[in-house]
Chain A
Amino acid sequence: MSKRVVIAGAGQAAIQAATTLRSEGFEGEILMVADELDLPYQKPPLSKGFLMDKLQEKNLLFKTEKFFEEKNVQLALGEKVTEIFQVNKAIKTNKGNVYDYDSLIIATGTRNRILNILGSELEGIHYLRSLEDAKSLKQKLATSKKLVVIGGGFIGLEIAAAAKEKGLEVTVLEVQDRLMARVLPPIISDIFEAKHRDKGVDIQLQKSATAFIGENNHVTGVQLDDESIISADLVVVGIGVVPNDDFAASGGIKCSNGIEVDDFTRTNVEDIYAIGDVACHYNDFMQSTLRLESVQNAMDQGKISALHILGKEEAYYLVPWFWTHQFELKLQMAGCNQGYDEYFTRGSIEEEKFSIFYIKDEKLIGVDSINRASDHMAARKLIQAGVTPTEEQIEDLDFKLKTLID
Chain B
Amino acid sequence: MPKITYINHEGETTEIDLPIGHSLVEGAVQNDIEGIVAECGGSCMCATCHCYVDEAFLDKLPEMEEEEDEMLEDAASERKSNSRLGCQIRMTEDLEGLIVRLPETQV
Contacts and interface: CB of A to CB of B under 8 A. Distances in A.
B93 interface: no
Interface string A49-81: 100000010110111101100010000000000
B45 interface: yes
B2 interface: no
Contacts, number: 64
Main secondary structure of the interface of B (DSSP, over half): loop
Nearest to B41: A42
Nearest to A12: B41
A64 B31 contact: yes
A71 B34 CA distance: 14
Interface stretch (B3-11, B22-30, B54-62, B97-105): B22-30
Interface residues of B, number: 23
B47 A62 contact: no
A295 B41 contact: yes
A44 interface: yes
B32 interface: yes
Main secondary structure of the interface of A (DSSP, over half): helix
B39 A296 contact: yes
A373 B21 CA distance: 25
B63 interface: no
A360 interface: no
A56 B21 contact: yes
Nearest to A295: B41
A373 B30 contact: no
A332 interface: yes
Given A64-B30, A323-B45, 4 more contacts: A48-B43, A49-B43, A63-B30, A373-B47
B26 A377 contact: no
Please indicate which of the listed interface residues B31, B34, B39, B43 has the most CB atoms of chain A within 10 Å of its own CB.
B43
7 contacts: A62-B29, A63-B31, A64-B30, A64-B31, A373-B47, A373-B71, A377-B46
A248 to B, nearest CB: 27
Given A67-B31, A402-B74, A377 B47 contact: yes
Given A377-B74, A378-B74, A67 B30 contact: yes
A330 interface: yes
A403 to B, nearest CB: 11
B64 interface: no
A334 B24 CA distance: 26
A23 interface: yes
B79 to A, nearest CB: 12
Please indicate which of the listed interface residues B21, B32, B44, B71 has the most CB atoms of chain A within 10 Å of its own CB.
B32
B45 A373 contact: yes
